[in-house]
Amino acid sequence: MKKINILIPIYNEEESIAELVHLISNVVEDLKYNFSFTLIEDGLNDSSWEIIKNLHLNNFGMRKIKLSRNFGHQGAIFCGLNHFNEDAVLIIDSDFQDNPKYLPKLIDEWENGNDIVLAKRIDRKESIFRKLLINFYFKIQNKLSEIFIPKNVGHFSLLDKKIVETINNFPENKKFLLGIRAYVGFKVSFVEVIKDKRKYGNPKMNLRKLLKLSSEGLIGFSTVPLNIIGVLGVLISLSALGFAIYTFILNVFMNEKVLNWDFGLTSIYFLSGIQLLSISILGQYIGKIFDETKNRPQYIVEELID
């Protein structure tokens, strides 16, 4: 019988953990697979770990991992993937936004020969601002990136064993699942889903964290921002040269001055802004290189119950 692991990263979700695990078990218990859970506790501000330690289900294996501190959503997910040893893994968030009722459909697509099965959102019960922000991210990511990340696809997915093994062999320390999952290729399928609202509490992925995650995907999988700096520099240089020739001709042959000192000051401010923007973009890449050269782990396990 094939083994399927259900990986759930948990960050301060004490209200939902037990309820979600029992709901998932009810959804999949009649399917002819050996199911197990991997629960990764990635927060230190509530009683999530105590609830996880006391969770027990008949006919379901339980792998319980407590991280030493909050390492973020990506750290928790890759911790679970690094401890994976089943035939496939289902990744689902712990806030009820990913509805467990779609799990059998993901498994069916896997059985049809697909190595990666992605839950594609056809609707999301969230604020208009958040929808617009996420849509904008996917447009920018796919315009500038060297890989294509499918629009309206998050972490809710199924990965075959060979995908997990391939991802785990990637040498970088700070991995970004959406990007690496798209990078590896293989056979991909989609299941259309409706993303629900959080059942308890407020969203843990605030604007700051969302922007940070977005930058990880863009900087980690694209050098286009660096190329833009070069193109911008060439355009400004050519424009300045053309304007200098133009003003020189007017001044020498027609005794006219085009613009006064105020334009020169404005030009200095404009170029200073471009320089600061360029330095900032370079700094993002240098910072990522710096993080990788330190070779620090993406997470640290404090306690493991398997």
Sort residue 55 into left (φ over 0), alpha (ψ -120 to 50) or beta: beta
Task: Indicate whether 168 and 266 sit together in one domain.
Answer: no
Task: Indicate whether 194 and 232 sit together in one domain.
Answer: no
Range of the domain at 176: 3-222+297-305
Q: What is the mean pLDDT of each run of 10 residues along the chain (306 residues)?
A: 92 84 88 91 81 86 89 88 92 87 92 92 68 65 67 87 91 81 88 80 59 60 64 68 68 63 58 70 70 75 86
Give dist(CA 203, CA 205) in Å, integer: 5
Give dist(CA 63, CA 89) in Å, integer: 13
Torsion of CA 93, 94, 100, 102, to 10 degrees: -10
Task: Indicate whether 289 and 150 sit together in one domain.
Answer: no
The whole-number pLDDT of residue 4 equals: 93
Q: Letter for the amino acid at 205?
A: M
Task: Indicate whether 120 and 259 sit together in one domain.
Answer: no
Task: Indicate whether 252 and 106 sit together in one domain.
Answer: no
Task: Indicate whether 196 and 274 sit together in one domain.
Answer: no
Task: Indicate whether 64 and 211 sit together in one domain.
Answer: yes
Task: Indicate whether 218 and 239 sit together in one domain.
Answer: no
Task: Indicate whether 84 and 117 sit together in one domain.
Answer: yes
Task: Indicate whether 211 and 248 sit together in one domain.
Answer: no
The whole-number pLDDT of residue 9 equals: 92
Task: Indicate whether 165 and 276 sit together in one domain.
Answer: no
The whole-number pLDDT of residue 105 equals: 93
Q: Residues 90, 93, 97, CA angle at the centre, nearest 5°?
A: 115
Buried b (16+ CB within 10 A) or exposed e, 210-234: eeebbebbbbbbbeebeeebeeeee
Q: How many domains does the chain have?
A: 2
Task: Indicate whether 139 and 192 sit together in one domain.
Answer: yes
Cite the beta strand spans of the chain per DSSP E.
3-10, 34-41, 61-67, 88-91, 116-124, 153-160, 188-195, 301-305
Q: Which of 57, 80, 56, 51 is nearest to 67 (CA)?
A: 80
The domain spanning residue 153 has which CATH number? 3.90.550.10
The whole-number pLDDT of residue 261 equals: 46
